[in-house]
Chains A and B, each alone.
Chain A
Amino acid sequence: AQKVTQAQTEISVVEKEDVTLDCVYETRDTTYYLFWYKQPPSGELVFLIRRNSFDEQNEISGRYSWNFQKSTSSFNFTITASQVVDSAVYFCALSGGGNQFYFGTGTSLTVIP
Chain B
Amino acid sequence: DAMVIQNPRYQVTQFGKPVTLSCSQTLNHNVMYWYQQKSSQAPKLLFHYYDKDFNNEADTPDNFQSRRPNTSFCFLDIRSPGLGDAAMYLCATSRRLAGGGDTQYFGPGTRLTVL
Residues of A within 8 A of B (CB): 31-33, 35, 37, 42-47, 50, 52, 91, 95-101, 103-106, 108
Bound CA–CA A52/B106 (angstroms): 20
Residues of B within 8 A of A (CB): 40-43, 45, 48, 55, 88, 90, 92, 97-99, 101, 103-109, 111
Q: Is B98 a contact of A45 with CB atoms below 8 Å? A: no
Bound CA–CA A37/B98 (angstroms): 15
Interface contacts beyond A50-B101, A95-B99, A105-B41: sample of 5 additional A-B pairs, CB < 8 Å, sorted by A: A31-B101, A45-B90, A99-B98, A100-B98, A106-B42
Q: Is B88 a contact of A43 with CB atoms below 8 Å? A: yes
Bound CA–CA A101/B44 (angstroms): 9
B52 to chain A, nearest CB (A): 16
Contacts of A37 in B (CB 8 A): 106
